[in-house]
Amino acid sequence: MKYYEAVKPVTVTGFAMDISARMEAQERLSKSEASYYLPAEQSGFELGLFSPEGIVKYFNSKALADLGGRAEDFEGKNVSDIFGIEKGSIELKRFKGAVETGSGKDYEDEVHLPSGDRFFLSNVSCVFDSAGNVTGIQVLSHDISERKKNGSKAALFEEDAGATEQTHERNQRKRKITTGT
C-alpha cells in the first residue's frame, strides 16, 4: 500500500493464486494415506515396516505396545538395535531372502519382549513401488503364545490319553488270559 499525505491510501497492490488443485490433491493424498493407516492400526496384528537394510520405518500401535515404547523410540533404528545382534541377524537374513526371491515366507519364533517371552507367527514380505522395485520389508506378526501353551497341554493330554488307552488294552489282555475269554 502506498500512502499520500499523512494516512490516506492512494493505491493497493496485491495478487491471488488459485491453489484449489493443490489443496484437492493434498486432500486426496490424506484420504489415501488414511485408508492404509487405519487398517494397519486396527488389524489386531503386530505390523512393522523396514527398509531392505533393516532400518525401522514404522511400527503400528500393537507392535509398539508389545515393544514397550513409542514410534520415536524405534524409527530410524536398525532391527539389531531393537531385538539384539542374534535375532537382528536372523531378521536381516530373512529380509535379504525376501528381496532375492521377491516373495514372502512365514516364520515361527520366540521373541524376548519387555512384557515377557512370547511366540509369534510372522510373515516377512516385500513392499514394491509401481516400477516393481523393492522399497521395504513388511513383517506381519500374530501372537501365538496361548496356542503354543494350549498345544503343549494338548500334546500332554494326548500322551496321557495314549498311556491310559495302552494301560486299558493291557488290562483287557490280562483279563482275557486269566478268564480265558
Q: What is the pLDDT along the chain (181 residues), one digit of tens a residue?
A: 555 566 666 677 777 888 888 888 888 777 666 666 666 677 778 999 999 999 999 999 999 998 999 999 999 999 999 989 999 999 999 999 999 998 889 999 998 888 888 999 999 999 998 899 999 999 999 999 888 888 765 554 554 445 445 544 544 444 444 445 5
* Residue 131 placed within a domain: yes
pLDDT of residue 167: 44
* Residue 31 placed within a domain: no
Report the distance separating Cα 85 and Cα 166, nearest Å: 48
If asked whether residues 47 and 61 sit together in one domain, one would say: yes
Q: Are 66 and 46 in contact (CB under 8 A)?
A: yes
* Residue 28 placed within a domain: no
pLDDT of residue 122: 93
Residues constituting the chain: 181
If asked whether residues 119 and 173 sit together in one domain, one would say: no
Which three-class secondary structure state does DSSP give residue 117?
Answer: strand
pLDDT of residue 134: 92
If asked whether residues 125 and 176 sit together in one domain, one would say: no
| Chain-centroid distance, C-alpha 112 | 16
* Residue 122 placed within a domain: yes
* Residue 85 placed within a domain: yes
pLDDT of residue 36: 65
Domain extent at residue 114: 43-143
Question: What CATH number corresponds to the domain at position 67?
Answer: 3.30.450.20
| Exposure class string for 78-107: b at 16+ Cβ within 10 A, else e | bbbebbeeebbebbbebbeebeeeeebeee
pLDDT of residue 1: 54
